[in-house]
Structure 1
Amino acid sequence: MSDKQKSITDSNLTASKPLLLHRRPDSLRIITKRLITQFVGQFAIVGFIALVLMAVALFFMLIRMSQLDMNRSFTSSGLQLLVDSLEIKSGQITFDPKLLTEVKESGGWLQTLDERGNVTSSHYTPVDVPNHYNAGELAAIWSRKRPFPYSLYIWIESKDGVDYTLLYGTQDTGHLLAQKAAESALITDRTIQLPNNLEHEIRESGGWLQLLDGDMKELASLGKSEGAPSSYSVQDFILRSEYADRYAAKLSSFFDERTAQTWVLHMPLPASSHKGLFGSIQSVMIFGFAGLLAVVLLVFIILAFVYAHRFGTPILHMMDWLQHLANDDYKEPTDRKGRPRSIHKDQKLKRRYRLFTEIFISLSRLSDTLKRNEDMRIRLERTREEWIAGVTHDLKTPLSSIIGYAHMLEADDYEWTREEVREFAAIMKEKASYMDAMIGDLSITYRLKNEAQPLSFERVEMNAFIERAIIRLLQDPRLSAANVALTRMDQELYYPIDPGWFNRIIDNIVANAVLHNPPGTAVRISLSTQDDQGFVILVSDNGQGMDEATAELLFERYFRGTNTEENDQGTGLGLAIAKQLVLTHGGTIEVQSAYGAGTVIRMAFPPK
């Protein structure tokens, strides 16, 4: 690397460092503040989610336990809820329809009484239940001093200054069936025999019958379930009678005072009162807390993956990017589609990378600076090598000719005439002029390619400008017989160009079309406008054309080489200079050609 290149590269790197160092403290404070905000916000969200999950779990357990309690005994919890749901609408008493359904499923009935004992509303009430009660009658029924075929529960509630009496009655079907069995059963070989209709009713209900002696041991049974107990302790019998949900069966009994025997009817609970894992309060609590723990654990696992993805992915990407920079790869690492991982199609940072925005900006600037310095170093190195190779190649032949003629003039073996000396001098002058033109063209291409050639733009009417350029070009004696025609645009078009260098474009392109085709070749130049006042220049000829390989290298420097033995040869850089000037003006240039079909060069300049 030359000292000049090294100084340029070092100066760029030095210029980039103060910018990054100056931004570093502010960037760190911003990122620290953003991280604190993110973590505090995330933990607040996690805490809120945990509280919500706990509330949902507790609500579920309370609802389910209340449902189990109502299924076991509607009077213990459902009756209170039913009273709380009492409302007066348009003078009518209403209850929660769901609770009324529970009344029906529990086999009960419901009545409300006003202050005079009249029934004001009735739900599922049997026909043998009165629709009016006086105070003494109701008190006798309540104190069981008067026979009543139902178990009765009384609740008094005050609504809007009016006292309402709620009557809830239930009939213990199991008790009645057990009593009927005691009155009609025959015992044979530890087997209970019943009338067909009574046995059918018990079996239809899914129940089975037991006869126990005074010690609560089985004497006989009917339809006994497998694994059912054959004897009971006092505590066991009471628990089975009061907490049917624990045993998934309701135990109803009738004590025969004459024989001191107990008739027991076991009936399965309704399907709604015993559902698998949630059929008891213990199971509800166990699975409720287990479910809460599982969901909370799942939430934390998900959050762990989210945090790893949100914070880990950008950090790993930055480490990968730095590794690429260390390996002289100045592009951001890309995904499978070849796009930078941190950037959307709209060139904005992806959401998970925005937390480290300042770091990614610094990395991007560092990559751009390093790449720009590397490109400059390579460009300078390549330009230097091309300069040396080009000058060596293109100046060797004319210089050899000059040296040869100089040796001939210097030799003492010959005496050259004045005409011969003049001829030699003319050839040497021609070769020297060629070398001077070559050096000038090389200098121009070097400056244009490295953007070191400043242009001075001014708005020029293009029809008149190109027409004058062609007229001036045809005044060259070598081109005076050329068949060149111009087709102007339909309207005037003013466009910003550097007149001197744009004139060089026209000269090089048109002269190349005339000089490198047979005499009489027609060269046509046509101008046309593009949308929003851009324009196109087409230079076409009907000459000999060229093959595809030649067309691809047409605008490359040194492609033709030099052959100063022919007068129509230039420096070999005319089209390369034309291309660089077109690009410098913001345009594009392309060629289409084929043997025997002529050549078309198209130059397009965008709107400005």
Structure 2
Amino acid sequence: MSIRRRLMTRFIGMLAGAVVLIILLGSVATYWVVQKVNEVNLVDDFAANGLDQLINTAEIMPNDTIRYDPELLKQVDKYQGWLQVLDEQGYAIDEYHTPADVPTHYKPGELIAYWEGQKPFPYQIVMLIREKNGKNFTLLYGESNPAKSLMNNIRSDLAFTNGKLDLQPDQQEALRAANAYLQVLDASGSELSSYNKPAIGVPSEYTMQIRYPSRSGMSVATWYDEQNETTWLISIPGDPLATGTQNPYSFILEPALVILIVSIIMLLILLAFWYANRFGSPMLHMLQWLQRLERGHYEEPTGAFGIPRSQRRNGKWKRKYKVYAEVLHSMQALSHTLKQDEELRKQTESLREEWIAGITHDLKTPLSSIQGYAHMLEADKYSWTTEEVREFAGIMLDKSMYMDRLVNDLAMTYRLRSGGYQPVAEETDVNTLLRDLIQRAERNPAYGEGRILFQPSEVPVYGLVHIPSFERIVDNLTANALLHNPPESILVVSVHSGEHADAFSIQFADNGRGMDSETVWKLFERYYRGTDTGTSDVGSGLGMAVTKGLIEAMNGRIEVQSTPGEGTIIRLIWDGPSETN
């Protein structure tokens, strides 16, 4: 999977996770609000909202008794209520806290009269008829209503004439004893008159629904006078601290909303920290890595234990770095390449300084000789013989020829490096050509006698070579092997045929001092091994660099194998058209 797809997958997964968590938080908050609203509804008016739950959760036992939800029974106890279950004949089959003055049997129509208020009843009742387990039963829930009892006691003597409230002393005493107040309302709900009404906190106008919730502790009873079209309202306050004006739902919705918002904010903050650690930390690590590369430090930044921050102890990527695996691989490759280039630059700088020092030395040395002999010939106080003048001229000529070869070889190396030298190859008998060149080298007194052995190929070998360049290559390799090894060392030159036409190889093997790996690596650098005027007749010090360039110009390659103390083997290999084309 590409880094683009991995990043998209991670981002989509993160957003999906955030959405799921927010939905879960919203679901939990909604569930909590619903539960609290149900609790408020039960507290607000248990008779209207709690009885249905009470019936639905009730269990009928084998002995026809009923077991209720204990939590709902607590609400019944809170409002000092009572329960009574009646069968189809009106007999009470189960009771809960039923007072002694409540009947245990009701005649047909009697219960309806009590419920509708047609017949006085000492309690305010609510009736529900339900079917449970195939049986029909009636549930009565009653609460003591002091206001209603007081209204029943004084209603027969209440009078409102000529816009004035006429109360008897015993009625006034009953109202004051119960800490109740009386209001007379007209047809629109506006107050006409009142008695014992508090100065504040009591409305003077009412809507069509005159009701105080049970949570306020207010006991209310009304009586409608059809003759005068007035409504009589008796109210008995309960807990003086309960005003009845507060909205209980605000204590549910507001905390739920605040908690939900705070939870979402905290969730987003945690997701931001997680995102920064998951995606930002690797980016910061790579940025620090690039800054180190800019300063020339090519190692990956490490942690407290010296281990790269992106890796575990076993070398594998850490989880949060896997998404950037391609980038990290590229940065590792870049660091390795820059480090190699820096090392190569230092080596090249060192070689360049050595090369310049060698070239300067080998140019100044013959120039010094030529200049010295020229001063000797110029001096008037010396009279040189003809033989001495010829000797001086010969030395000066030799030094000038050395300088000429040095300059030509230097120019040749640059031409070969730049590709400006393209020799024309021709089909040549390699065995014959190499035998002639070896025989010519054997006649060189500087090499010594019997130090070169030639081993031709058993079959004729023909190759595409440029003969002048080939002669230069053989001369350079022969001189290098014989002049830089002990006098007793032997050079064996052999020809080997290839697998197909124009493919062959030539091997130069000596049993001399050999070379270490660093020398082999630098062998073909320009002027790695300097020369002096004592060996001016055998080269300029650029021979191996020129040799490698000439071989490559003829579509060949060179390989070197050397061991210190055992000797050196140099192979010239031409693979033929199959490689060059």
TM-score (norm 1): 0.47
Greater Rg, structure 1 or structure 2?
Answer: 2
Query: Which one has the bigger helix percentage?
Result: 1
Which TM-score applies when normalising by structure 2?
A: 0.49
